[in-house]
């Protein structure tokens, strides 16, 4: 890195000279005077390409140190390394750790209770913050930022130009800027010159919130203010908070336009975007893995919208779990870990060879890599698809009760969508160290600002309008519960999904499951028949029956909260 830095210094000098004199050089545009004092007595340095009518100063954020606008990947990585934020790995990947927090902090997310949203937010699921608390939080965070350097990316949330959101991300850490540049959609250079942010996210990990003054829970805070069009993140270095804040934002805004926001991955048949499929599921259920099928074109791995035109990716990259990752099983994702600019988060590596250890979870089981979508060879250029022919609801059943696949009626699909049964996988949230069975409505409760029925009704109407076939797929345990059984073989899951997506599974013989009432295939080519009847995989059938009864009771108890809000056909297929 010493030699590289030395070679870059003359270029940096030219760029800085161009900025100071108002001339343009490669990767840099200047639109305003830089000669301003900051509180530390030095001159502010502003580097990069930005719409002069929409700088941070025009937003009322002034007195910062150097501000870096819309840097490209090489420049961001250089800044991150010079600031000691991480290490350059094989192939130019950037390796870093996130300190105290290696997962999301869902209990520290807040929505500001302003008049424009007070009647539409699901307050049972979203912690409220007073407007006064937010105003104090913003004032204190901006004061904390004075004199410090910040990195800005102007990006799109959404691949469909008709429905995308213009978002500004302001980050204290350079590598967070790299991360979010991968994860959201990148404007063309010419689009930056007229870019006007609709919402701004400020992420300042060194800022600690004051629960009493700021009306929050702890010194970590994620606060969303729809009235002021601001999201403030403080006290955590975990990069996933950046992308999930935008997802939460879109989950609130899009339903008002009749668009279904979905916590799902998506793909389509090669050369046939009309034959698309979506895969709902929480982290650890296989959304990324199963959608990255070499026999289909990848639209995206985590967040999508379903509009009147079809489906579209919210993002421009992927954020994949890497624990126990193997090239033999997932070659495309594995190879991204040694590509230029990929962010390697919380992975142990050999300090001499820089080889990554995919099995060492001493930092966290939630180790990840973030990379642009184009690093997957079969990724869609447009990130758009038609109305999905198949809807897959992924669950990770730690009880070992559910079959590997089941076909759902539209009413059953809404039931399971509202139930959102799965297991939290170790590391994805603070304090989760082993699989924990849970119900996460809409397969994404932490990111749902509106009541679940809003999303359920949208999904149901989309299914009815487009005739989508729905499937429940269990990627969890078979042969027993967690601790006794084993994870569902991924080869079997892939075989079942392939048969479902190409239509072959629909022609098979099915049986009615006695516990859950859905239809289960009795055979599928390439899959052991015993896997399709989970009771037969248990050594003790009576123990299976007891476990199944327990899960049915959990479903029934959980679903009681939705009964007053649903139609009779959904009530009729309720379990228990």
Residues 6+ away with beta carbon under 8 Å from 463: 391, 410, 413, 470
Catalytic residue among 214, 304, 321, 368: 368
Is 244 a catalytic site residue? Answer: yes
Among the residue ranges 67-76, 174-183, 283-292, 363-372, the one predicted with the least confidence is 283-292
Give CA separation, 103 vs 81, 237, 239, 240, 247, in Å: 23, 9, 9, 7, 16
For the chain, count helices (H), then strands (E).
Answer: 15, 29
Catalytic residue among 102, 105, 200, 283: 283
**pTM tops 0.95:** no
Residue 24 has pLDDT above 80, yes or no: no
- b/e sequence 37-69, b meaning 16+ C-beta within 10 Å: ebeeeeebbbbbbbbeebbbeeeebbbbbbbbb
Catalytic residue among 181, 185, 268, 287: 287
pLDDT band (50, 70, 90) for residue 1? very low
What is the SS3 assignment for 464-506?
HHHCCEEEEEECCEECCCCCCCEECCHHHHHHHHHHHHCCCHH
Q: How many CB atoms lie within 10 A of CB 547?
A: 19
What pLDDT score was predicted for residue 174? 98
Q: How many CB atoms lie within 10 A of CB 569?
A: 14
Tokens of 232: 């403030």
Is 336 a catalytic site residue? Answer: no
What pLDDT score was predicted for residue 40? 46
What pLDDT score was predicted for residue 530? 94
Is 327 a catalytic site residue? Answer: no
Question: Does residue 284 contact residue 396 with C-beta atoms inside 8 Å?
Answer: yes
Q: How many CB atoms lie within 10 A of CB 5?
A: 12
Under the phi-then-psi rule, with left for phi > 0, alpha for psi from -120 to 50, and beta for the rest, what region is 310? left
Is 462 a catalytic site residue? Answer: no
How far apart CA 189 and CA 126 sit, in angstroms, is 37
Catalytic residue among 104, 407, 450, 462: 104
One DSSP character per residue, 289-306 reads HHH--TTEEEEESSEEEE
What pLDDT score was predicted for residue 425? 65
Query: How confident is the model over 531-559, as a mean pLDDT?
Result: 96
Tokens of 268: 């389509």
One DSSP character per residue, 531-567 reads GGSHHHHSS-HHHHHHHHHHHHHHHHHHHTTTGGGS-
Residue 491 has pLDDT above 70, yes or no: yes
One DSSP character per residue, 59-85 reads GT--S-S-EEES--HHHHHHHHHHTTS
Is 107 a catalytic site residue? Answer: no
How far apart CA 484 and CA 482 sit, in angstroms, is 6
Residue 88 has pLDDT above 80, yes or no: yes
How far apart CA 231 and CA 222 sit, in angstroms, is 7
Is 283 a catalytic site residue? Answer: yes
> 30 or 43: which carries more pLDDT confidence?
43
Residue 415 has pLDDT above 80, yes or no: yes
**How many percent of the chain have pLDDT more than 70?**
90
How far apart CA 76 and CA 145 sit, in angstroms, is 19
How far apart CA 57 and CA 64 sit, in angstroms, is 9
What pLDDT score was predicted for residue 284? 82
How far apart CA 202 and CA 233 sit, in angstroms, is 6
Is 109 a catalytic site residue? Answer: no
């Amino acid at each position: 890195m010493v030699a590289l830095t030395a070679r870059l210094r003359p270029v940096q000098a030219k760029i800085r000279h161009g900025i100071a004199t108002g001339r343009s050089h490669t990767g840099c545009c200047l639109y305003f005077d830089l000669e301003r004092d900051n509180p530390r007595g030095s001159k502010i340095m502003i580097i990069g390409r930005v719409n002069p009518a929409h700088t941070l100063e025009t937003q009322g954020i002034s007195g910062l140190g150097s501000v870096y606008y819309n840097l490209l990947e090489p420049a961001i990585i250089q800044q991150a390394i010079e600031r000691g934020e991480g290490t350059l790995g094989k192939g130019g990947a950037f390796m870093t750790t996130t300190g105290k927090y290696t997962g999301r902090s869902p209990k520290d997310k807040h929505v500001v209770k302003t008049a424009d949203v007070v009647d539409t937010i699901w307050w049972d699921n979203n912690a409220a913050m007073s407007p006064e608390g937010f105003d104090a939080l913003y004032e204190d965070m901006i004061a904390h930022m004075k004199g410090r350097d910040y990195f800005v990316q102007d990006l799109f949330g959404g691949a469909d130009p008709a429905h995308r959101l213009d978002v500004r991300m302001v980050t204290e850490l350079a590598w967070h800027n790299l991360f979010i540049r991968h994860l959201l959609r990148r404007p063309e250079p010419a689009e930056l010159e007229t870019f006007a942010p609709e919402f701004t996210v400020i992420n300042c990990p060194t800022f600690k919130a004051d629960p009493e003054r700021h009306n929050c829970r702890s010194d970590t805070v994620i606060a969303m203010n729809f009235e002021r069009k601001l999201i403030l993140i403080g006290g955590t270095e975990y990069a996933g908070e950046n992308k999930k804040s935008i997802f939460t934002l879109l989950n609130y805004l899009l339903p008002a336009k009749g668009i279904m926001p979905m916590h799902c991955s998506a793909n389509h048949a090669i050369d046939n975007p009309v034959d698309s499929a979506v895969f709902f599921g929480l982290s650890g259920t296989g959304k990324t893995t199963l959608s990255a099928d070499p026999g289909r074109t990848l639209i995206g791995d985590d967040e999508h919208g379903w509009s009147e035109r079809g489906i579209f990716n919210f993002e421009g990259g992927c954020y994949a779990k890497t624990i126990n990752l193997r090239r033999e099983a997932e070659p495309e994702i594995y190879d991204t870990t040694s590509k230029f600019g990929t962010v390697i988060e919380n992975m142990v590596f050999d300090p001499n060879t820089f080889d990554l250890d995919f099995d060492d979870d001493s930092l966290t089981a939630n180790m990840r890599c973030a990379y642009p979508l184009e690093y997957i060879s079969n990724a869609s250029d447009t990130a758009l698809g038609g109305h999905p022919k198949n809807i897959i609801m992924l669950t990770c059943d730690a009880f070992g009760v559910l079959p590997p696949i089941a076909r759902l009626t539209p009413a059953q699909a809404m039931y399971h969508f509202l139930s959102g049964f799965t297991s939290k996988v170790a590391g994805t949230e603070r304090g989760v160290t082993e699989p924990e069975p849970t119900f996460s409505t809409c397969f994404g409760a932490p990111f749902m600002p509106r009541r679940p029925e809003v999303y359920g009704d949208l999904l149901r109407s989309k299914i009815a309008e487009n005739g989508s076939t729905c499937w429940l797929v269990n990627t969890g345990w078979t042969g027993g519960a967690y601790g006794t059984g084993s994870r569902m073989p991924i080869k079997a899951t892939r075989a079942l999904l392939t048969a479902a997506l190409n239509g072959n599974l629909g022609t098979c013989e099915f049986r009615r499951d006695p516990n859950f009432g859905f239809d289960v295939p009795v055979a599928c080519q390439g899959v052991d028949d015993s896997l399709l009847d989970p009771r037969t995989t248990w050594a003790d059938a009576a123990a299976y029956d007891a476990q199944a009864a327990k899960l049915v009771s959990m479903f029934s108890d959980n679903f009681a909260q939705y009964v007053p809000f649903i139609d009779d056909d959904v009530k009729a297929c309720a379990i228990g």
